[in-house]
Structure 1
Amino acid sequence: MNVAVWIVTGVLAALFLLAGLMKLTKSKAELVDAGQGWAGDVPDDVVRLLGAVEMAAVLGLVLPGAFDVLTWLVPVAALGLIVLMLGAIVTHGRRREYLNMGTNLMLLAAAVFIAVERIGPQRF
């Protein structure tokens, strides 16, 4: 089961790495054109902050377990992504962006899986 948790962790980290980099490097117009319509409704600083939070979560998901240091950060990072995805689901729901909500639900499920496993049976 530990291998499955690592696989889900790697996939989730890769997806958030891409999403975070996109928010940190693309303009609001480019984000909106890429299907992230919410970005047009919030200040640039908020978009950049969300990208930085996603990048921090990537580091928290992978590095502690990989180096066996401060491993309690892995479930904390997963819990942070849970909160982030709940906010994203609400935001996309209000905007009637149902496809994005589905993506957020899948990411939420992966983060819940990691948090539960790393707090419980598959902790380091």
Structure 2
Amino acid sequence: MDLALWISAGLLAAVALVGGISKTFVPKEKLAGAAGGRWTANASRGFIKTLGVLELLASVGLILPALVDIAPIMVPVTAVCWALLMVGAVSTHVRYRDGAKFVVATSAYLALAAFVAWGRFGPESFIA
């Protein structure tokens, strides 16, 4: 189970890193033209950049605290925060009718985050 939690956290960290980089560094107009990015046309640049920075922080928070054994409780806390972010992402993709592909993907990320949070708060906690 520990391996499954590490793999799940790693996958989520990779997704968060890619999303964070794109939202932080890609211009709003280019994001709005991308598949699944229509919502950015109605969002402020500051909001999009803030989401990007939060995703970059999540990519670090899902792996680094456990890896260096400094404040490993941050891993499940970050997973809970990521799950909340994904609830917003799912509702946004549904509202903008981006298609089942985006709703299913963000729902899968939500499920993985819930799994990591459950596993790291519970049976495979880093805190003994």
- Quickly name the TM-score band, shorter chain normalised: over 0.9
Q: Give the structure 1 partner of residue 2 of structure 2.
A: 2
How many percent identity over aligned positions?
A: 36
Aligned residue type for 1:63: L
Structure 2 stretches lacking a partner, 5+ long: none
Provide the TM-score with structure 1 as the length reference.
0.96
Q: What letter matches 1:19 in structure 2?
A: G
Which has more helix, going by share of residues?
A: 1
Report how far residue 19 of structure 1 moved: 0.6
Q: What RMSD, in angstroms, separates the aligned Cα atoms of the two structures? A: 0.8
Q: How does 1:10-89 map to 2 (within 5 A)?
A: 10-35=10-35, 36-89=37-90
The one-letter code matched in structure 2 to 1:120 is G
Match of 1:109 in 2: 111
Q: What is the aligned length?
A: 124
Q: Counterparts of 2:98 and 2:9 in 1: how far apart (Å)? A: 26
SS of 2:72's partner is coil
SS in 2 for 1:71: coil
Deviation at 1:33, TM superposition (A): 2.0
> Which 4+ stretches in 1 moved above 4 angstroms?
none
